[in-house]
Amino acid sequence: MQKSKLGLDFEKVEYARGLAKGIAQDVQTFVEQYTTVAVERTLCRLMGIDGVDDNDVPLPNVVVEALKDKGVLNEGALFFIANAMIQTGLSPQQIAEKVATDELDITKVVTTDPKAIADVLQPVIDESMARIRARRARREHYLDTIGEGPKPYLYIIVATGNIYEDVVQAQAGARQGADVIAVIRTTGQSLLDYVPYGATTEGFGGTFATQENFRIMRKALDEVGEEQGRYIRLCNYCSGLCMPEIAIMGAFEGLDVMLNDALYGILFRDINMQRTLIDQYMSRIINGFAGVIINTGEDNYLTTADAVEAAHTVLASDLINEQLALMAGLPEEQMGLGHAFEMDPMLENGFLLELAQAQMTREIFPKATLKYMPPTKFMTGNIFRGHIQDALFNMIGIWTHQGIQLLGMPTEAIHTPFMSDRYLSIENAKYIFNNMRSIGDEMEFKEGGICRNRAKEVLGNTIKLLEDITKEGLFTALEKGIFGDVKRPKNGGKGLSGVTMKGANYLNPFIELMKGKR
C-alpha cells in the first residue's frame, strides 16, 4: 500500500471508494436499460451519416426524429438503418438523405434476420473504428517524434466566437508556451439538442463546437506544434444535450481533451439527470477508445458554495466520477478529475488548506491526470492581487504533481484575454514550475499540523456524504441538493423527452467493441 505524506488512512480511502462504487453501480444498472436521442444520433454518426437537410437540420437528427415519431426508437437506429441497407442496397448516408426527403420510411422496410444485419453492419463498424484508431495513432506518433511539454500541462482558453480568429489566438498561445488549447463553446450550446454543421464565425462568449471547427483547429495546432517542436493538445466540451455526439466528432478529428461531466450538466444547466447520465456513459466509452482525457466539473461546485465548507463534495464527486468512468472502460490515466483553488484570498492559512486538498487528491488518485482550476470566484476588481493568487495556485500545482494546470490571467473574465496578459500568466507558471520543480519530493507535512488535519477532516466528511448518498441513491440525493447547494427534480429538467427504454431488438455493437479494444 502506498505511503501518504499527509498520513491519510488508506483503509478509509478504500472504504470511500467502495461506497462510490456502489453508488455508481446503482446508476449504471439504470443507464444500461435506456437509450436517448443523443446516443442514437451518435450511432448514426458512427455509421457515417453527416450533413444537413434543406432546412439545415443535421441528418442524424432527421433519422432519429423519424424513428421517435413512429414510436420505435427503443429498437435502435442501427437496427433500422442496417435493415434498410440490406433491402435497398444503399449506404447509411444515402438512406438518411432519402429519409430527409420522405422518399424512404425505414420503419416499413421488411425485417431481415439478425445474422444478415450483423453482416451488413460489420464493414461500416470496422471503418469507423479504424478511423478513430488512425487519429489516436497520429497523436501517439507526434508524441513519439516531437514530444510534449512537461506536466502540469499549461492550459489556456480561446473564445472569440469566430473559429478563424480562435486559430490566431491559439497559435499565439502555443508559441507563448501553452500545452493545451481549450476552445470555449458559445453561450448556450450545451442546451441545443443538435450539433451545428460547418465552420462558424458568430459565437457569443465562445465558438460553436462543430466537427469542421474541430478539424480546422486540429490542423492549426499540428502546424504550430511542428514549428515549436512539441505536441499541442486540443480541448473542447462534450457536455450538455449532445455529449456522445460531440465525443464522436472529437474522436474523428483528433481532439485530446474533453470536458465531460453529467453532474455539471444537471446542476448548472438543469439537464435531466436520467438523460445526461445515459449520454455520459456512451460519451466516455468513445473517449476511452479514442485516448481522450476527460475533464470533470467538480471545481464548479465551489463557485456556488463556500470552498472550505464544501470541499468534501468535490472529493465525493471525484470518487463517483472515477467509478462511472471505469464502468465505461475509461483508464485512470485519462481521468482529469477536477478541483479548484476557490478559497477567499483573505482567509488565514488558505494556502495551506488548499495545499492539503490538492495533495490529498493526488494521493487518492495516483494515476489520474488531474485538472487543477485557478481561483476565479474572488478575482474581480484587483487584477494585481489576482496575479499573485495565480502564482500561489501555480505553486500548489507543481508541489502536488497536478496533470493539467488551467492558467488564471488578469483579463480572463472577458474569456479572450489580452495576449500580453496571457504571456504574463504563462511566464508566471513556467517560472514557478522551473524553480519549484522538485518541491513536492523534498517537503514533508508536519504530524498533527494544519495540512494533515485538513486532509483528515475532508476525507471524514466525504465518507459521511457518500454514506448518505448510498442510502438515498444518487438521483434522490441530487434532488435533495447535496452538491453546490442546487436541487434538481428527478423527472424534470431539459431533455427528459429524449429518453426511451430499450426494446427487444435494441442494437449497439459499438459499446463492447470500444470498451474491450484499445
Q: Active-site residue numbers?
A: 264, 299, 371
What's the DSSP call for residue 149? Answer: P
The three-class DSSP label of residue 321 is helix
Q: Which residue has the cell 495545499?
A: 355
- Point out which residues pair with 235 in neighbouring strands: 182, 257
Is the CB of residue 372 less than 8 Å from the CB of residue 358? yes
Q: Which residue has the cell 444500461?
A: 32
Please provide the DSSP assignment of 360-381 as one string. Answer: HHHHHSTTS--EEE---TT-SS
What's the DSSP call for residue 301? Answer: G
Counts of helices then strands in the chain (DSSP H, E) = 19, 11
Is the CB of residue 188 less than 8 Å from the CB of residue 196? no
Please provide the DSSP assignment of 401-420 as one string. Answer: T-SEEE---TTGGGSS--HH
User: Closest Cα partner for 218 from 252, 177, 268?
Assistant: 252
* CA atoms in the 13 A half-sphere facing the CB of 375: 29
What's the DSSP call for residue 233? Answer: E
Q: Which residues contact 3 (CB under 8 A, 6 or more apart)?
A: none
Please provide the DSSP assignment of 104-136 as one string. Answer: --TTSSPP--HHHHHHHHHHHHHHHHHHHHHHH
User: Closest Cα partner for 25 from 470, 507, 364, 361?
Assistant: 470
Alpha carbon of 257 to those of 273, 290, 294, 369, 451: distances in Å?
23, 10, 6, 11, 31
User: Closest Cα partner for 8 from 359, 466, 344?
Assistant: 359
Cis amide leading into 152 (omega within 30):
yes
Whole-number Å distance between alpha carbons of 165 and 486: 36
- Point out which residues pair with 259 in neighbouring strands: 237, 295
Count of Cβ atoms closer than 10 Å to residue 130 Cβ: 10
* Alpha-helical runs (H) found in 4-113: 10-31, 37-46, 59-69, 77-88, 92-100
End-to-end CA separation in angstroms for the chain: 29
Is the CB of residue 451 less than 8 Å from the CB of residue 352? yes
* CA atoms in the 13 A half-sphere facing the CB of 235: 25
User: Closest Cα partner for 484 from 265, 300, 271?
Assistant: 300
